[in-house]
Chains A and B, each alone.
Chain A
Amino acid sequence: MNVSSVKGSMSISSSTSTWKAGDTISDQFPAGLRVLVVDDDPTCLMILEKMLIACLYKVTKCNRAETALSKLRENKNGYDIVLSDVHMPDMDGFKLLEHIGLEMDLPVIMMSADDGKQVVMKGVTHGACDYLIKPVRIEALKNIWQHVVRKRKNEWKEFEQSGSVEEGDRQPKQSDDADYSSSANEGNWKGSKKRKDEEEETDERDDTSTLKKPRVVWSVELHQQFVAAVNQLGIDKAVPKKILELMNVPGLTRENVASHLQKYRLYLRRLSGVSQHQSNLSTIISAQDPTFGSLSSLSGLDLQTLAATGQLPAQSLARLQAAGLGRATAKSGIPITLVDQRNIFSFENPKLRFGEGQQQHMTNKQQVNLLHGIPTTMEPKQLVSLRHAAQSIGNMNMQVPPHGAQSSQNNPLLMQMGQQQQQQQQSRGQILVDSTINHAPRLSSSMGQPILSNGIATNVSSRNGIPENIRAPGYSQTPSMLNFPMNHASELPGNSFALGSTPGVSILTSKGAFQEDVNSEIKGSGGLMPSYDVFNDLDQHKPQSWELQNVGMAFDTSQHSNSLQGNLDLTQSALGQQGFSSGQMNGHNRSAAVASKAMFSTGDVKELGSAQNVNQHLNNLLVDNTIRVKSERVCDTSPANIFPDHFGQDDLMSALLKQQESVASSENEFDFDGYSMNNIPV
């Protein structure tokens, strides 16, 4: 029968089946359409399956959204369209819809017994291509293939318009026409696209004869480029045309960009609505240096979690990790040691943090709020820089928590920055910590690695969802102890503290992934690696870490700073770091002053008992100083100090500290714009 033959052909080559130009596609189509149906109600699922089979479709059913997502991920080209129920126990249907839209870009039809206007509207805004009311009639199902065709057609058009076909003839790039021909081509397309954008064009041309439309596969790299371009232009000003120009990808059409932008915007919007933590995490996850390899695992987990939570698209994760890995090469030198340290930190930190984490969360959260108001000044600039740096961390970046007002604008920036950094770094939440640590060394060594600070800063904020992210730019700068030098040297425009160097930045973002517990940690780690750990202990510091800018780092640093300052007992860790960081700041006279204050205050508090208090105190200080990216400077000094004691990373710390100090000195000038720590009541 045609169906069977179609199916057979589908399975062949790249699912060209029906779409093969030469074949009798139209005859068979829509028979053999590969449908994935998701519904938690077994009765409905059974009925739907039967109906779809009656329509001659190839049906796969799942009763859980998670299962559906994993099926889709396993076999990206294996499905043409997805039907999903709205109300499902394990994951909201709309969330699933988002994921699918971003990751696989398949048409999704929502179903529900609920026909309320709001729900239907929600379906529309989330990108569903249709909404069916239950009980679903078989007639309605008979027509779902139209959505597949429509989507293909649009993509095709985009390609045609791009006109940048490399060769003009369709060379079958990897897949052959077959890929294009079938709806499955999309899947293939993706693969091909990833490989070569150019080729896609050519391939598509061939397919044009048939219905196949070259589907633009938004690979991680491509998406990163896209995000970078968007960040550069500003999320509000990003128009497809300009984005296209910036991206400068041959074969990419304005339509491709336009549709992707639309999705991206929706995604961002959703992220900002979603718990910031999650988003932060995602952003943070950006791949940080691969060197952190060990950390990556952590981040991977975080990412996974995020992904699972729907926050972090699987792609993002992959991207981040890839990015992180990619970047590692640069840093391999120092980072390696750092990595170990980081790992230690990250692992240790979490443990430490758990107890504290809770406290920290609270503290951090509180702090975060404080921070929100503050760093805005820095952020815009930093954000910009971050953005550039961050480029397309992709979805992840978006996650930067839109905390409050700040977040809204900063977040995207931060996110971006974070993302970029993350990419460079390893987005894992822990990674931030690690990254900070790693970065620190790196920074010191390379100085050019502002990333750490930036990354961290951004990460931290993003992760926590707290405005910290926003600050992150500032923070990253702080951690910039290392970064500062970098900043100066680096391209960091304005604040972009680490963006230029960015790798560090991403680290922070990844931290975000860590979520609260991590957040506290991250904060410290934001740039200051050492502080990070310290931070955890301190719990309190997360928000405070602003000193370090690294958000989390501050605390840690404060602890570390103690060591540096001597006042702070690292042992105290909790307070010490914070206080320390603040202490550092004093040295720098930058906002650090505040930090130092914090530090000092913390120092006193060191008892840790008052850690909470300290945190608060620090927070206050931080709040004032938050902007003090300068804290980075503080970080410079502190981080080095802090860590050594705490985590036994003495080596790192000292190295970092030294560097930081050196950096700090240079950085002193660094003040981030506006953040004048002066406010800090020391």
Chain B
Amino acid sequence: MESKHVNQQIAAMRQSFFDEEVLDEFFSQLEQLEDQNNPNFVEEVFTMYFRDSTTLLETVEQAMKTISITLAKMDKILHQLKGSSASVGANKVLNEINKTRQVLEKGNLEGTKAGIWEMRKEYDSLKAKLEPYFQLKQANSVPQEK
């Protein structure tokens, strides 16, 4: 049925996330926290994550443009991003963040810029992948609940 088909689609999407290592086991952990009472917990978490991280990323990118940017400040922001990305299981994003942070520690500003750019790519990609996933999930669950 449609629902079944959609379910399969959802499952496939999900699996791809893991296969591509876009998401890691922490994502599964989040899923485990989902239950009857909180069917959309994961989505809620990601909504929040995307919202905050977008701001952070923009701040970081903005900072990179300014001349007098302080590495310490950048590091702080990246640290924040790292924490939340790790908690939601955004694996690739996390990897990019870690790489960028390492480059930043060495004081390589240019390298940091490049790293941030990569990070941003992964982030956008993640967002692009998850959004339809959640939408599908939502749509799917609704008819089921009925």
Beta-carbon contact of B45 and A47 below 8 Å: yes
> Does B52 contact A135, Cβ atoms closer than 8 Å?
no
A112→B83 contact, CB < 8 A: yes
For window 21-80 of A, CB contacts with B under 8 Å fall at: 41-44, 46-47, 50-51, 54
CA separation between A510 and B29, bound complex, in Å? 52
> Are B38 and A41 touching (Cβ within 8 A)?
no
Q: Given A47-B45, A87-B79, is A134 in contact with B87 using a C-beta cutoff of 8 Å?
A: yes
A50, B76: Cα distance in complex, Å: 26
Closest Cβ of chain B: how far from A596's Cβ, in Å? 51
Cβ of A113 under 8 Å from chain B: yes
Contact of B83 among A41, A50, A51, A138 (CB under 8 A): A41
Give the residues in chain B near A112, CB-CB below 8 Å: 83
CB of A138 within 8 A of CB of B79, answer no
For A104-138 the 0/1 string (1 means CB < 8 A from B) is: 00000000111000000000000000000011111
B84 touches A138 (CB 8 A): no
Please report which residues of chain B, range 80-119, place their CB below 8 angstroms from some CB of chain A when the two chains form the complex. Answer: 80, 82-84, 86-89
A112 CA / B76 CA spacing, docked (Å): 12
Q: Kindly identify, within residues 16 to 48 of chain B, every residue whose CB is under 8 Å from any CB belonging to chain A.
A: 26, 29-30, 32-33, 38, 41, 44-45, 48
Chain A residues within an 8 Å CB radius of B82: 113, 134
Q: Contact between A54 and B52 (Cβ–Cβ < 8 Å)?
A: no
A42 to B83, CA, bound (A): 11
Closest residue of chain A to B84 (Cβ to Cβ) is: A43
- A41 to B86 alpha-carbon distance, docked (Å): 12
Measured CB to CB, the nearest residue on chain B to A112 is B83
Task: List residues 124-179 of chain A with CB under 8 A from any CB of chain B.
Answer: 134-138
Contact B79 A113 (CB under 8 A): yes
Beyond A43-B49, A47-B45, A113-B82, whether A136 also contacts B33 by CB under 8 A is no
Contact call A41/B80, Cβ cutoff below 8 A: yes
Residues A135 and B87 in contact, CB atoms below 8 Å apart: yes
Chain B min CB distance to A601 (Å): 46
Provide the residues of chain B in CB contact with A87, threshold 8 Å: 76, 79-80
| B26 / chain A contacts, CB cutoff of 8 Å | 135, 137
Contact of A43 among B32, B76, B79, B88 (CB under 8 A): B88
Residues of B close to A41: CB separation below 8 A: 52, 80, 83-84, 87
Q: How far is the CB of A59 from chain B (nearest CB, A)?
A: 13
Contact B83 A134 (CB under 8 A): yes
Q: When the two chains form their complex, are residues A43 and B38 in contact, meaning their CB atoms are under 8 A apart? A: no
**Of B32, B45, B83, B86, which contacts A46 at CB under 8 A?**
B45
What residues of B have a CB within 8 angstroms of the CB of A134 in the complex? Answer: 82-83, 86-87
Chain A residues within 8 Å of B89, by CB: 135
CB-contact partner of B33 in A42, A43, A51, under 8 A = A51
A44 B32 Cβ-Cβ under 8 A: no
How many residues of chain A have a CB within 8 Å of chain B?
19
A50-B80 CB under 8 A given contacts A135-B87, A136-B87:
no
Q: How far is the CA of A622 from the CA of B76 in the complex (A)?
A: 45
A50 and B48 within 8 A (CB) = no
How long is the Cα–Cα vector from A87 to B49 in the complex, in angstroms? 18
Closest to A40 in B: B80
CA distance A137 to B33 in the complex (A): 11
Q: Which of these, A46, A54, A137, contacts B48 with CB under 8 Å?
A: A46
CB of A47 within 8 A of CB of B87, answer yes
* Cα separation A135 to B49 with both chains bound (whole Å): 14
The interface residues of chain A lying within 8 Å CB-to-CB of B80 are 41, 87
Contacting pair B88 A47 (CB below 8 A)? yes
Question: Which residue on chain A has the smallest CB distance to residue B81?
Answer: A113
Least Cβ–Cβ distance between A174 and chain B, in angstroms = 39
A44-B83 in contact given A50-B41, A135-B26 (Cβ < 8 Å): yes
B127 to chain A, nearest CB (A): 14
List B contacts of A51 (CB < 8 A).
29, 33
- A406 CB to nearest B CB, Å: 33
Are the C-beta atoms of A138 and B32 separated by less than 8 Å?
A: yes
- Looking at the assembled complex, report how far the CB atom of B108 sits from the nearest CB atom of chain A, in whole angstroms: 19
Q: Which residue of chain B has the shortest Cβ distance to A53 in the bound complex?
A: B33
Find chain A residues with CB under 8 A from B83 CB: 41, 44, 85, 112-113, 134-135
Chain A: minimal CB distance from B61 (Å)? 19
CA distance A571 to B118 in the complex (A): 69
Nearest CB in chain A to that of B33: its residue: A50
Decide yes or no: A114 and B33 within 8 Å by CB, A43-B49, A47-B45, A135-B26 being known contacts: no
Q: How far is the CA of A285 from the CA of B47 in the complex (A)?
A: 47
Bound Cα distance from A134 to B89, whole angstroms: 11
**Shortest distance from the beta carbon of A479 to any chain B beta carbon, whole Å:** 45
Q: Which residue of B has the minimal Cβ distance to A111?
A: B83
Residues in chain B near residue A114, CB distance under 8 A: 79
B35: nearest chain-A partner, CB-CB: A54
Inter-subunit contact A46/B29 (CB<8 Å): no
Which B-chain residue is minimally distant from A133 (CB atoms)?
B86
B residues near A44, Cβ cutoff 8 Å: 83-84, 87
Say yes or no: B33 contacts A54, CB within 8 Å.
yes
- A137–B29 touching, CB < 8 Å: yes
**A46 close to B44 (CB less than 8 A):** yes
Q: Give Cα A47–Cα B46 distance, bound, in whole angstroms.
A: 10
Q: How far is the CA of A137 from the CA of B87 in the complex (A)?
A: 9
Instruction: Give A42 to B48 CA distance when docked, in angstroms.
Output: 7
Q: In the complex, which of the residues B29, B41, B49, B86 contacts A138, with contact meaning CB atoms closer than 8 Å?
A: B29
Asked if A43 and B87 make an inter-chain contact with CB atoms under 8 angstroms apart, the answer reads: yes
CB distance from B89 to the nearest CB of A (A): 7
Per-residue contact bits, chain A 400-413, to B (CB 8 Å; 1 contact, 0 not): 00000000000000
Do A43 and B30 have beta carbons less than 8 Å apart? Answer: no
CA distance A85 to B86 in the complex (A): 14
What residues of A have a CB within 8 angstroms of the CB of B87 in the complex?
Answer: 41, 43-44, 47, 134-136
> What chain A residues lie within 8 Å of B29 (beta carbons)?
51, 137-138
CB distance from A49 to the nearest CB of B (A): 10
**Nearest A residue (CB) for B82:** A113
Q: Which of B32, B45, B84 lies at the interface centre, i.e. has the most chain A CB atoms within 10 A of its CB?
A: B84
Q: Give CA–CA (A137, B52) in the complex, Å.
A: 21
Contacts of A136 in B (CB 8 A): 87
- Minimum CB–CB distance from A92 to chain B (whole Å) comes to 13
Report Cα–Cα, A54/B31, bound state, in Å: 12
Complex Cα–Cα for A44 and B29 (A): 13
| Shortest distance between the CB of A671 and any CB in chain B (Å) | 51
Interface set, chain A 344-401, CB cutoff 8 A to B: none
Contact partners of A135 in chain B: CB under 8 A: 26, 83, 86-89
Residue of A nearest to B38 (CB): A50
Q: How far is the CA of A632 from the CA of B41 in the complex (A)?
A: 69
| B binding-site residues for A, Cβ under 8 Å | 26, 29-30, 32-33, 38, 41, 44-45, 48-49, 52, 76, 79-80, 82-84, 86-89
Top 4 A-B residue pairs of the complex, sorted by shortest distance between their CB atoms:
A113-B83, A135-B86, A135-B87, A43-B84
New contact pairs (4) apart from A41-B83, A47-B88, A135-B89, CB-CB < 8 Å = A42-B52, A50-B33, A113-B86, A138-B33
16 contacts between A and B (CB under 8 A): A41-B52, A42-B52, A43-B45, A43-B88, A44-B84, A46-B45, A51-B33, A54-B33, A87-B76, A87-B79, A87-B80, A113-B79, A114-B79, A134-B87, A135-B89, A138-B32
